[in-house]
Structure 1
Amino acid sequence: MAKVTIKIEGLKELDRALGQLPKSTGKAVLRKVLKDAGEPVAQAARANAPKLTLHLTETTDVGTKLTRRQASLHKKQAKDDRAFSEVFIGTSDPAGMQDEFGNEHQAAEPWLRPAWDGKKDATLDHIKNALWGEIERAAERLARRAGRRR
């Protein structure tokens, strides 16, 4: 399984702000931002996907779940590299790997890598910019709830 890991460094203030939220809230905020940021990449991948059967176009998505096989491979690869939150962009269709990387009977027809390469800078900028707003909104919601409980 091909894997791209992105680490954004130098965001200590965002990390501290996330740390001040309850863990479940912080994780939900981060997942929302990551899913929103990944959607343009998924849209570009859908547009690039081979059109022979349209199956890759229909199954390409952004999400937090992997197939059982993908999860077992991911678990082996990420043993020491646990992330607070992860979001995946791709397809559950095994043909996606064959189209992306090719094999002895089929030439590679990349569709996901070019989508990522074309959108990665905008995606990372979206994460950096949107995360502040989502953290602030979550903190305001928590403060309102705490005010109502008193």
Structure 2
Amino acid sequence: MSVTVSVSGLREIEAQLANLSRAAGKGALRRALHRAAKPLAELAASKAPERSGALKGSIIVGAKLNGRQTRLHRRLFRDERAAVELFVGPSYLRGDGGRHGHLVEFGTLHMAAQPFLRPAWDQDREALLERLRADLGEQVSKAVARAEKRAARAAARRTGS
């Protein structure tokens, strides 16, 4: 099952991003996406079953996947060149909680599914997009202002020397 998400009204932000270096643009996008996704991670943690141990504490927003996830992700998205990607879910790096998150979410032969990520996404999807839209404009504007300030200092140094 795939979910398509569409966000409109970002042309001004795209024009501002064109004025930034690639690294500055990616940094602004990453900061905005991380801030917008944080409440989703908190909501997912609140929906995780109580008896799932360290699962609640392992749910994070991050850019890294484990080895198997990375291979699968590359295979699925090999033709797409996304500028920035972040993931929300249980982390394998935060104790044992993340190691069994998928088993809790989807269930096993001996354990019924106890979804926590999908219900959190369904509940928070629209609010996340609104948070992203609001914060993205702010982060890109700040990055443009920093770049302009840096360029002005560099120009002042050149003319002052």
Same fold (TM over 0.5): yes
CA distance in 1, matches of 2:11, 2:59: 33
Counterparts in 2 of 1:1-150, with a 5 A limit?
6-92=5-91, 93-149=98-154, 150=156
Paired residue secondary structure (1:94)? helix
Q: Which amino acid aligns with 1:42?
A: A
Paired residue secondary structure (1:86)? coil
Paired residue secondary structure (2:50)? coil
Unaligned runs of 5+ in 2: 92-97, 157-161
Give the aligned CA root-mean-square deviation in angstroms. Answer: 1.8
Aligned residues: 149
CA distance in 2, matches of 1:32, 1:118: 22
How far 1:136 sits from its partner (Å)? 1.1
CA distance in 2, matches of 1:85, 1:49: 27
Does 8-17 or 98-107 show the bigger shift?
Answer: 8-17
Paired residue secondary structure (1:52)? helix
CA distance in 2, matches of 1:106, 1:136: 49
* Matched-pair contact (CA < 8 Å) for 2:41–2:60: yes
Instruction: Work out the percentage of aligned pairs sharing the same amino acid.
Output: 38
CA distance in 1, matches of 2:69, 2:141: 34
How far 1:121 sits from its partner (Å)? 0.6
State the structure with more CA Rg. 2
Paired residue secondary structure (2:61)? strand
CA distance in 1, matches of 2:72, 2:119: 23
Cα deviations by residue, 1:45-102 (Å, 9 ceiling, x for unpaired): 1111122243111110001111111111111111122211011000132311111011
TM-score (norm 1): 0.91
Q: Which amino acid aligns with 2:67?
A: R
